[in-house]
Structure 1
Amino acid sequence: MEHDNYNDDTKPNSKKFISFKHRESLLTQLLATDPNLRMIHDLIALFIFVFLLYKIEVFINEPTKFWEIFDGYMRNSSDLGQVIQIWFIMKMFVLCLHYPLVLFNNFFQYRWLINNFENNNYNSDILCEMYENRQYAGCLYQIILYTMYSCISIFAILFYCTYCILVYDIKLIGSFSLLIEMTRLLMKSHSFFIEKKDLFIEKETLKNLMVNKQHTNMYRSFWALSSRASFRKYIYYMFAPTLLYRDSYPRTKKIRWGRVLNFGLQFILFILLAMYVYQGYLVNLTKTCTESIELNLKLLYQIITPGIIFYWLFFYVFFHLYLNLTAELLRFGDRNFYEDFWNSKSAKVYYRKWNHVVQNWLYVYVFIPVDNRFQNRILTNFAVILISALMHEYIVTIVYLLEKYGLVKNLVSIKLIVTNWSILLAILIIEYNYRTSCPLSEPWKQIILPRFIHHVKI
């Protein structure tokens, strides 16, 4: 997995290239340069540590409270073995199907070059020009290639994951983690397929290969090509904190174990806090199916306060701690995972800064292709919104459309944090509880109709 010799050269005529370079995440830079912010960060971590110690003392004195929470988590993680099995099988599908498909296509292109040169059908200049214009395969072959790729993505990952969640009745936490992993694998495999399905060989290298007859053993010469799909590089990419495939990335010289320990301890600390807040949040919103929830100021407080805590915990634990921890262990140099989204004055800017990992993928594989094809910025923006909504949530699309017509101008971050995130999270928990506690007699209603609207009184 060594990619120390990082090459940032772009492909010819490529408008979709996003460069990677050595840079730290924004919070890492701020904490290193601003002692006041670092003091606030340390005080918050100390406060959480003391709070968790206090809760441990409470659990020791009142074991029933601990076992009540423990039983709740055990019920939600009782299918951990099935979750790991499904995750492993999805990973094997990607490694054993997507990679061989790309490698076979690379070999097909290389064999076409060698065979046409040996048969003297074309001189080297014409052959190189045909290869650069990708005239080695007809329309039928391209259709077959993309059909095979689509079938692998749809049936081996998307349908398989969805089917297992429904059939095995995976609990809330397991279902969420599997769906996140399914989306990640689909996006990663798509980037790998697009970037590596064509075997790029420079014109001079191609001429030298033909003239010097370095292709006597076709299989050995193909395997020696640096531009073919490499399994070692593919494995590194599958675990790297990015959704854009490159043959090489900027790498740090060594793993800084002090940072690993720092990120790891913080990760455990904040995960424990998130688990406690989640349990309290769930208890406050959990009712039996014979009870209704009255919408009042107390309920709004119970919804909004934990929702805000969840929002910042999710950002800090995932985007800062987890991604930086993964990057440090893999010596991944580019850690620009987010920007100062908390200072955004519009929803458009907010979502661009909130998650660079996903936004870069949307820009490269949705925005650029649609814009180049239709030359219509409205249609392009709509395509990005649609894909993002399918990947995340419908409410994201509403925010973009409201801003388009001037209805969202100020306090965008506060609005998104306090209302959208908190209320959506509360609705999901309430809906999940009612669906699992009191299913409807008609199966089609159980699938289609939302349940929370029948149990919330205004």
Structure 2
Amino acid sequence: MAPSKRRRSKAATKVHASSSQPEANGVPPGPTTTSAEDTNVESVISASINAASGGGVRLTRSSSLDGYVSEGGDRKSEGKGKRKRIFIARDSILTALCRDDPNFRSLYHAFMVMVVTAILYSMLKDSVEAASPHIDFRMFTSGFGPPHQSLIMLLVWTPLQMAALLVYPAFKVWEWAHPRFGRVADSAAIVMMIAYNFLAHCVVVASIVHLDLPSIPSVVIALEQLRFSLKSYSFIRENGVKVLRPWSKDDEDGPHIWYGGQMEVTVGSFSKYLYFLLAPTLIYRDNYPRIPRVRPLRVLSHFIKCCISLAFVSIIVKEVFGASFTQDWQLLAKMFLSCMLWGLILQFMAGYFFLHCWSNLFGELLRFADRQFYSDWWTCNSFSQFYRKWNLLVHDWIKAYVYQDLKNKFKNPVFNKMAFVPCILMSAIYHEYVLWAPLRFVLPVLLLQYSTFGLLLFALKPSSHSSWNYLIHVGLQVGVSLMVFCYVMEFNARITCPKEENAVNTFVPRFLECYFKNLTKS
């Protein structure tokens, strides 16, 4: 539970005597609550940071725009300490581009029309085949299983939610015990934190396996358990420093200054922790920038886009996973080409649904102002940039609690530069964990891609020439297509050649065995 020991930076941030602090409920005064639709994006960003910090943090232009500031906050200390995540009021990049660029807005509208047209085409095709008005969402609806399976999912999710809520009183007990019992209390707290995460993983795995939950409830429970674990760890880390290193608001060098006024001196209240559990972020802060009110039209727009995205994803899943297992090389080649066509679209639409539509929907309902859940990954010239920009929610967490800790731990230049390796491997392992939940098998294609080509391409430092951007998209197309093809083959092979499901068979690929077995019979 105890965070890594923090070093006080010599460079102190100057605090203006006349500046005011953020409001206690997390709503920064002044320009932060100004609607981004009525002002220039860059001016809203700068005003938001100034308001969120109470005017007390002097940020450079570069650090303000990417949402990070170094310990101490000024230019001299930048790069010497940990860079702290500063939340600022800004729209998602797609929202900002549609608002500011009429050409991009028209292209976005054309894309949505094409998606809706594809859904209507699927409905018409299903109706013609069924000789009556009909839409075949069986591949999607079967993922939920019978109604009682959704009830079981809720019964499994409830204890996970309650355990996440109990993290707060457990932390308060440790806050009381630390000054009295010292390392004994710290050791007990660390053991409890490890036990909590271990038991949560065990509950999810046991529930999925023994209750035989369908694919969608399984992946929901796995993602929710992972979300609770990451959020509770962030709360412990960000508040643990307040217990281990007490600070006052008058300190010129401390968490209150590092975080631009978004962290208070004392441990945050339970209401702040509850808001954090619901908010679309994995990084804890006592105060977040908030919009002044919920905009119903925005909520409706994001909800409709969520429905459209899910409908389109279900059509893609039906096209990709609906193919049957075959030994014909021509049909296999056709299946691979189909995966090339639909694989990258499936990844893009899944990211669009979760990182844009779903996250913005909850951000709007909770008045959460920082909507940068992803960045412009499509402009990347290297895979290292893509890894950083694709999913900023997970990237920020890994950077804050894994990457920076490893950089500070290993002072050897070689190990210091290799700090990204455990981050990539950790991300790959948890991706495999999430994919196991609905598929019920582990085919470590994603892990192999991350641990081999991913690491090599991450370390590659290409030029800014536009040809590298082509190579990035070609690499994504090939990598995603190969991954989807392998998972489809294994999924269909386990249906064609069933075996007793156990721990060993979960990790042993079956599509090659099934292929040669059926080839011998024929």
TM-score class, shorter = 0.7 to 0.9
TM-score by length of 2: 0.71
Structure with bigger gyration radius: 1
Tell me the residue number matched to 1:396. Answer: 450
Tell me the residue number matched to 2:8. Answer: none
* Distance verdict in 2 for CA 1:435–1:170, change over 3 Å: farther
Q: 2:416 aligns with which of 346, 371, 377?
A: 377
| Per-residue Cα deviation, 1:405-424 (whole angstroms, up to 9, x for no partner) | 75998444323431222221
Q: Distance in 2 between matches of 1:23 and 1:91?
A: 29
Q: Distance in 2 between matches of 1:189 and 1:103?
A: 13
Tell me the residue number matched to 2:170. Answer: 101
Tell me the residue number matched to 1:153. Answer: 197
| Per-residue Cα deviation, 1:46-95 (whole angstroms, up to 9, x for no partner) | 23323333433444444379879444444321132222322222111111
Q: 1:440 aligns with which of 490, 499, 506?
A: 499
CA contact (8 A) 2:343 2:481 kept: yes
Q: 1:426 aligns with which of 475, 485, 497?
A: 485
CA contact (8 A) 2:249 2:265 kept: no
C-alpha displacement at 1:237, in angstroms? 0.6
Q: Distance in 2 between matches of 1:16 and 1:270?
A: 35
Q: Distance in 2 between matches of 1:436 and 1:2?
A: 53
Q: Distance in 2 between matches of 1:257 and 1:241?
A: 18
Q: Distance in 2 between matches of 1:24 and 1:228?
A: 29
Kindly report which structure 2 residues correspond to 1:324-343, keeping only aligned pairs within 5 A, or say none. 324-343=360-379
What is the letter of the counterpart of residue 402 of structure 1? L
Tell me the residue number matched to 1:4. Answer: 27
Tell me the residue number matched to 1:47. Answer: 114
* Distance verdict in 2 for CA 1:91–1:306, change over 3 Å: same
Q: 2:387 aligns with which of 318, 337, 351?
A: 351
* Distance verdict in 2 for CA 1:326–1:203, change over 3 Å: closer
C-alpha displacement at 1:331, in angstroms? 0.8
* Distance verdict in 2 for CA 1:143–1:319, change over 3 Å: same
* Distance verdict in 2 for CA 1:71–1:29, change over 3 Å: closer
Q: 2:186 aligns with which of 139, 142, 145?
A: 142
* Distance verdict in 2 for CA 1:337–1:442, change over 3 Å: closer
Tell me the residue number matched to 1:219. Answer: none
Tell me the residue number matched to 1:282. Answer: 321
What is the letter of the counterpart of residue 236 of structure 2? F
| Per-residue Cα deviation, 1:128-179 (whole angstroms, up to 9, x for no partner) | xxxxxxxx65333211110011101111x11111111111122333322322
* Distance verdict in 2 for CA 1:163–1:441, change over 3 Å: closer
Give 3-state SS (helix, strand or coil) of 2:407's partner. helix
Kindly report which structure 2 residues correspond to 1:241-260, keeping only aligned pairs within 5 A, or say none. 241-260=280-299
Give 3-state SS (helix, strand or coil) of 1:76's partner. coil
Give 3-state SS (helix, strand or coil) of 2:91's partner. coil
Kindly report which structure 2 residues correspond to 1:19-418, keeping only aligned pairs within 5 A, or say none. 19-63=86-130, 69-78=136-145, 79-96=149-166, 98-109=167-178, 112=179, 137-155=181-199, 157-197=200-240, 198-199=242-243, 201-203=246-248, 227-284=266-323, 286-287=324-325, 291-292=326-327, 294=329, 296-375=332-411, 376-392=415-431, 393-394=446-447, 395-403=449-457, 406=460, 410=468, 411-418=470-477
TM-score by length of 1: 0.80
What is the letter of the counterpart of residue 182 of structure 1? Q
- Higher RCO (CA 8 Å, separation ≥ 6 residues): 1
| Per-residue Cα deviation, 1:70-122 (whole angstroms, up to 9, x for no partner) | 444443211322223222221111112x122112122335xx4xxxxxxxxxx
What is the letter of the counterpart of residue 359 of structure 2? L
| Per-residue Cα deviation, 1:261-317 (whole angstroms, up to 9, x for no partner) | 111112211211111121121112x33xxx436365422211111112202211221
* Distance verdict in 2 for CA 1:300–1:88, change over 3 Å: same
- In structure 1, stretches of 5+ residues that fail to align are 113-135, 207-224
* Distance verdict in 2 for CA 1:384–1:48, change over 3 Å: closer
CA contact (8 A) 1:3 1:248 kept: yes
Give 3-state SS (helix, strand or coil) of 2:175's partner. helix
**In angstroms, what is the RMSD of aligned CA positions?**
3.1
